[in-house]
Structures are given as structure tokens and as C-alpha cells.
Structure 1
Amino acid sequence: MRPTPPSAVEPGRLTIDTDYLRERLEDMLAIPSPTGYTDTVVRHVCGVLDSIGLHYDLTRRGAIRARLPGGSPHGARAIVSHLDTLGAQVKNLKDNGRVSLVPIGTWSARFAEGARATIFSERGGYRGTILPMKASGHTFNDEIDTQPVGWEHVEMRIDAYSRNRDDLDRLGVEIGDIVAIDPQPEFLDNGFIVSRHLDNKAGAAVMLAALRALRDAPPPPVDVFFLFTIAEEVGHGAASILLPDIAAMVAVDNGTSAPGQNSDEFGVTVAMADQTGPFDFHLTRKLVELCRDHDIRHQKDVFRAYRSDSASAIEAGADVRTALVTFGVDASHGYERIHMHALRSLAELVTVYALSPVEIARDAEPIGDLAGFTSQPTADAEQQMTAATPRPEDAAE
């Protein structure tokens, strides 16, 4: 029988270096990494892990699995975010010397209109702009406001001599070439950060800042794996990066600060469910309790049109407890805005979770009998309140 993982004395919140967090985010935003074009950002993050002093493994395609050693390898934990972003791909070469596009990931062409971008051909990168078909107000007048919105109604104008299809062939532009959208980041003095691709380079920066803080802390009770995936935006995510000993996985990604949602640009937003269903009851409850115990501002939310690395792992058949903690994003998958307060809060939660005691010792084994299995409340709220409230005669005793 495997030994029970050693318990840990929960420390207070570790101090997060927000300047370091910002630097890591700025560095990653400057590296184009739409899904399918992630080699450069993977190399960059591996270099950061080297500087922290953490060992890591790479999958064939470039997903990163870094290990923070703990007291036991069994019943390990994982923290995951993704390095890939939204983008586009060349769908067709047009007779006017421009190219039509299809999106990489799910995002509206409304946010593509006017975007500066780079198209990566085999002969190198070309700069350009994504424009609606009717882009000139002096030519089309009010039609520029009434034309339809959609990917079939935009095209990319390449900043090179390109007036027809032959010119595109001469440039080496081909169907399938990847297009990276400029992030256009702004870091404001009041803590707000506005940029494209904060989903989920901000999550990766949170993990790196937490790792740096954990480097000098006592070892966690079990191994903690920090996972960086490369295809979350197209649904693959953490489908093939988990190890059998990983019992619980917490995804760090964006929340949706929008009407009808409870997400916030401040503090941690703990997701209770997304379109794939509820997250693990016990892991989610533990994360909320850690926020309460360590005075980390938090709120809960339920997401509808949303999935994360956790969903891909579960759908791939991983028997792992999953949860999702987020930083609230305004205009997600558009020109996004977040606040450093949420990023710092998330990094603090990652550290206290990594160092927290193991509560479900049975999870060290992939399968077992009923001994040590978890339980959930069954009484109704009124009965529980009655049971928890002392009777006057009990108080008199």
C-alpha cells in the first residue's frame, strides 16, 4: 500500500512579485502564438522555467509539463493554462491580391475588422490589415455601416506589392498560411491591462509568477505539475498531457465579466460549471475555502458558452478531479481588459493550493474500495441549520 502523503502546515499567502508577473505577460504577448504556431512561445516559456530552476518535459508537439517536487509523487496535483491564442488562416487567394480568412478558435470577425496582423508564409512574414470588403467611406458611404459581419465579409490586405493572384504566388503566400493578430497591449498605471490574447497568456503569467514564489517555499505535500498546453482554443487542451498519478487539476483561464455573469475583474472568480457540466464538488469547495481562509477576494460564476483545458482532459477519459479558477475578462475573445488585482489574487491562490494539505488520501490510488471515499451533504438546508444551531438547553449545560 502506498504511504499516505505527508500533511502540510498551511502557510499564509506567499508574496507575488507583480512586476515579474507583468514582465512575463509582456514577453509572451510579444510572441505570436495562434494555435498551430506555438513553437516560439514554447521555447520562451521553457527558458523561463530554466531560470526558475524547474525540470520539465515536452510532448512531441510542444506541450510543457514542469514538476515541482513534493513529499510524494502519488495523488499529485496539476495547474494548467494554455499558450495558444486565437488567430486566422488563409482560406483562399483572391483575384484582387488579397486573401480570405477562416478563424483559428472561436471569435467574431467583428473584432478582426481593422486588426493589424502578420501572415506567415514559407518565405517569411508579411504585415497586413484585416478589412471589411467595403472599407472606404469615400467610396461606399453608408454601405460601410450596413454591410454584413462575418468571416466571409472580410479580407486581409497584405503590405507588399500584391494586386492579383500572380502577385500572391510570387510572394509565396499559400492557402493554409497562419495569420497572427497583433495584441496591441496597454498596461495602465491604475492596474488595468488591455490587450488581445490575455486569454490565456495572462493565465500562463500567473502560473510563472506563482512558481517563482513557490521556489523558495517549503515543498508541497505531493508533486505539483505546472502544465502549459498549446491547442486549447481548438478544443484539444490537456487531452494528452496528464500522468496517471495526477489526481486533481486546476485550470487557470479567463472568466467572463459581462451582463448576466458574476465574474469580476478583481479577485478570483471560481467557476462552478461550464458547458461541459459542473466542476468537481470537493476540489471546487476546497479552492473556495482556501480563498476564505487566506483572505483572497473571490466570487463564483457559472459559464455557458465556455470550455477549458479541464473539459478536454475529462472528455479524453482522464479520471481526474477538475476545477477552474479565473481572472475576470471584459470583452473576452475580443479586445480584452483585465486588472492586475485578479492576476495577483490568482497567483496567491495557486500557491496556497499547491502547499495545502491533502484531504482525500484515497486519491493517491487510481481505484479502490469504499474505504476513504468522499461524501456530500444529503440533508436539506433547514435540517443542517437546525443541527448546527445549539439548543437553549444545551447552552445552559
Structure 2
Amino acid sequence: MTDTLDYIGEQLKALTSIPSPTGFTRAVTDYVMKTLEEMGFAPERSTKGNVLVCLGGEGEPLVLASHVDTLGAMVRSIKDNGRLRPTTLGGHQWSTADGENCTVHTRDGRVYTGVVLNTEPSSHVADEKVETLEKNMEILLDENVDTKDDVASLGIQTGDIIAMDPRAVITKSGYIKSRFLDDKLSASVLLGLARAVAAGEVKLARKVSLLFTVYEEVGHGGAFVPADTCEMISVDMGCVGDDLGCTERMVSICAKDSGGPYNYELVSALADTAKRLSLDYAIDVYPHYGSDVEATLRAGYDIRHGLIGPGVYASHNYERSHMDGVHNTYELLRAYVGE
């Protein structure tokens, strides 16, 4: 298992190093496609950009979905002083990015570094604190630009992508700290599962497909799945916080979120499997959450649906989890799909 956990950690660092705010995901799906192909699978990319791969097996088709799009921002306009006014992509919270380094990606492939700051960040200058609202945020490029024309000469324009630095770290004690653990941590877990299937370490008891989606952060990532799907589990981040049982070292099984209850029988089956294996788990209710599989249901699919994931603290912030949570999530999935 140590080898699998090491592999998942390596994949997390690889995935988080590829900027992929919602709508800018070609590079990260290229990476996922190549990784799966090297295992011997035949992944397909949809017109929309999702990556689907069948791992094998027969009967009761199950889809495990994670998303590789992240929060981020886009250039809304260029200011007269050469700074960029941003607009958010997904449920990005500007208070968590004030002072963060970032990169700006132009449509012709150029990349510029910069920093996210509010319009008056200096405590030695400001008469009063500026609220970290979107209208008060700007991107300062690490270039000698003082006017709109200066910025335009760099090839930067409205609609260009702004990606925050992930700063991924895995400590010796097993803690995982990074932006975008939602959901690149669980995407890494699914790659670890695919690797184990390819190596013959996991024998599938049913047909299992993996779906890596690219528009989850804006609500329609999982809107299309194979027609024969009977069951689908979103493998996303588990919530950690006030009034919740999950910790960063556990696998969370969601019973209900903002979209309503998850399939009762599937939640029970997942919990029974976790209990049988003596995994560290919690069944929780997430008050402000929506998942890929709910987009699948809204699209009209008649499926059983569930949501699990390693516990992640400080969602939509600089997030933290633990390799124990990864272990518990992986083992739950391995047992649920295996013979």
C-alpha cells in the first residue's frame, strides 16, 4: 500500500503543477490521457473535454468521477495603470488569495507571473482596510507596465486565464497542504486505482469507468455519462469543519448536501464496506456543496448516486488533508469495486 500512496502523492504534485482553472483544462486532461494510456488503457476525451476510461469488468456499470478543473480567475479588463481587474472562475474567495502569487496565460501561449492584491494593501499607507471584494482586487504583473498599452504589448487581453500558485507540500508526518486538493487529490486517488487495476492488484467485480471532469466548479462537469451507467460516485473532497464528524485523516461519506440526500442504499453500502474493513470514516452532511453526480441526475440519468472523499480542511482556501485520509478513501474504493 505504501507504494500506491507514494504514487498518489506523486500524481497530486504533478496534477497541481498544471494550471487548470475551469475552462482552461486542456493541458491537465492531456496529462491524464497520457498517464492512462501508459497504463495500457484507452481513454477518450469528450467534445466538452471530460476524460472517460473503462478499466474493465462486467455487469452493474459504475462510474467513479473526480474533477481536474479548479478555482481561478480571468482578466475582466485592463486598468489605465497597467493592472488587471479579475473576475472569478467558480466559487473563488478573494479573501483567500489576497497576497497570492499567480500566473497569467495568454491565448497565444505566453505566461506571465504576478501577484494578487487589493487596491491598497499597505498598512503604512491605507487610512482604513480595503475589503477583499472582487471589485477591490487586482493583479500586479511582474513586468514594467504602467498603462493599458504597456499591458497590451505583452499580448494580454480580456478573457485571459489567471491561475493561483498551488504550493503543494506533503510533510514527513503525512499532511498534505496545497491549493486545489478539491479535487486533484481525489483525481490522484483514481489514477492510483487505475494503476492497481492495470497491474492486476485489483480484480474488478463489475464494470468500472473513471470520469475526469472539467466543469465541476461551475456546476455541469458530470452532465454526461455512459448510457449504461447504473451507479455513480463522485470522488471529491470530504468536508472538515464545525458540526462535521470527518477529519483530514478519514474518508468522508456524504449523506446529504445542498442538492439533497444521496442514494440511501448506496450510502449504506459504502458505510458498511468501510465498517467491515475497519476504515476510519464518517457519514456527514455538507451544508454548502454540490457534486458532479448531481449534475448527472439533473441531466436526467436514472442512477444511484453517492459522494465520498478524503477529509479536506479549509475548502476553497489553502487546503489541508492527510495521507491517512487518502489511504482510507483508496481502500474503500478498492473494496467497493473489487472481487
Which of the five TM-score ranges fits, normalised by the shorter chain?
over 0.9
Structure 2 CA distance, aligned partners of 1:15 and 1:157? Answer: 43
Residue 132 of structure 2 corresponds to 149
Deviation of 1:309 after TM superposition, in Å, equals: 0.6
CA distance in 2, matches of 1:327, 1:134: 38
What's 1:127 paired with?
113
Looking at structure 2, the residues matched to 32 and 342 of structure 1 have their Cα atoms a distance apart, in angstroms, of 24
1:226 corresponding residue in structure 2? 210
TM-score w.r.t. the length of structure 2 is 0.96
Q: What letter is aligned with 2:106?
A: S
Distance in 1, Cα, partners of 2:269 & 2:101: 43
The one of 45, 59, 65 aligned to 2:32: 45
- Displacement of 1:329: 1.1
Q: Deviations over 1:201-240 (max 9, x none)?
A: 0010011112222231464232100110011001111102
Of stretches 207-216 and 245-254 in structure 1, the one that deviates more from structure 2 is 207-216
Amino acid across the alignment from 1:300: I
Q: By how many angstroms is 1:15 displaced?
A: 7.4
Cα distance in structure 2, aligned partners of 1:236 and 1:61: 10
User: Which sections of structure 2, spanning at least 5 residues, go unmatched?
Assistant: none
Q: Return 251-260 or 24-33, whichever deviates more.
A: 251-260
In structure 1, what is the Cα distance between the partners aligned to 2:120 and 2:240? 32
1:267 aligns with 2:260: no
Q: After the TM superposition, which residues 250-265 of structure 1 pair with which residues of structure 2 at under 5 Å, given as runs?
A: 250-265=233-248
Distance 1:296 1:282 in 2: 19
Structure 2: distance between partners of 1:289 and 1:211 = 23
Q: 2:70 pairs with 85, 91, 106, which one?
A: 85
The one of 244, 256, 264 equivalent to 1:281 is: 264
2:21 is aligned to 34
Contact 1:89 1:101 in 2 (8 A): yes
| Seq. identity, % | 34
Aligned AA (1:138): H
Single out whichever of 58-67 and 24-33 deviates more from structure 2.
Answer: 58-67
* Deviation digits for residues 33-90 of structure 1 (CA, Å, limit 9, x no counterpart): 1111111110111111112222221101321111011133xx3011110000000011
Mapping for residues 187-206 of structure 1, pairs under 5 Å = 187-206=170-189
State the superposition RMSD in angstroms. 1.4
- Structure 1 residue 62 and structure 2 residue 71: aligned? no
User: Does the CA-based 8 Å contact 1:28-1:41 persist in structure 2?
Assistant: yes
Match of 2:194 among 196, 211, 223: 211
In structure 1, the gaps of 5 or more residues are 1-13, 357-397
Judge conservation of contact 1:54–1:66 (CA < 8 Å) in 2.
yes
Partner of 1:183: 166
SS of equivalent to 2:140: strand
1:17 equivalenced with 2:4 (yes/no): yes
CA contact (8 A) 2:196 2:202 kept: no
Q: Which amino acid aligns with 2:99?
A: G
Which is further off, 108-117 or 167-176?
167-176
Q: Distance in 2 between matches of 1:252 and 1:319?
A: 19
Partner SS, residue 268 of structure 2 = helix
TM-score normalised per structure 1: 0.82
State the match for 1:168 in structure 2. 151
Q: Give the CA deviation at 1:16.
A: 6.3
How many residue pairs were aligned? Answer: 337
Residues 290-338 of structure 1 deviation map (CA, whole Å, 9 limit, x = unaligned): 1111221111100111001111111111111110002111110001000
Q: Which amino acid aligns with 1:318?
A: Y
- 1:137 is matched with 123
1:65-116 per-residue CA deviation (whole Å, 9 max, x = no partner) reads 11011133xx301111000000001111101100111110102110110111
CA distance in 2, matches of 1:22, 1:220: 24
Query: Cα offset for 1:30?
Result: 0.7
Aligned residues of 1:113 and 1:130 also touching (Cα < 8 A): yes
Q: Distance in 2 between matches of 1:218 and 1:254?
A: 23
Counterpart of 2:90, as a letter, is G
Contact 2:45 2:51 in 1 (8 A): yes
Q: 301, 325, 337: which one pairs with 1:318?
A: 301
Partner of 2:172: helix, strand, or coil? coil
Q: Distance in 2 between matches of 1:192 and 1:237?
A: 29
Equivalents in 2 of 1:298, 1:262: separation in Å? 9
* Letter of the 1:130 counterpart: V
CA contact (8 A) 2:246 2:281 kept: no
Counterpart Cα distance in 2 of 1:311 and 1:204: 18
- Which residue matches 1:299? 282
2:65 maps to a residue whose letter is V
Task: Letter of the 2:173 partner, please give it.
Answer: N
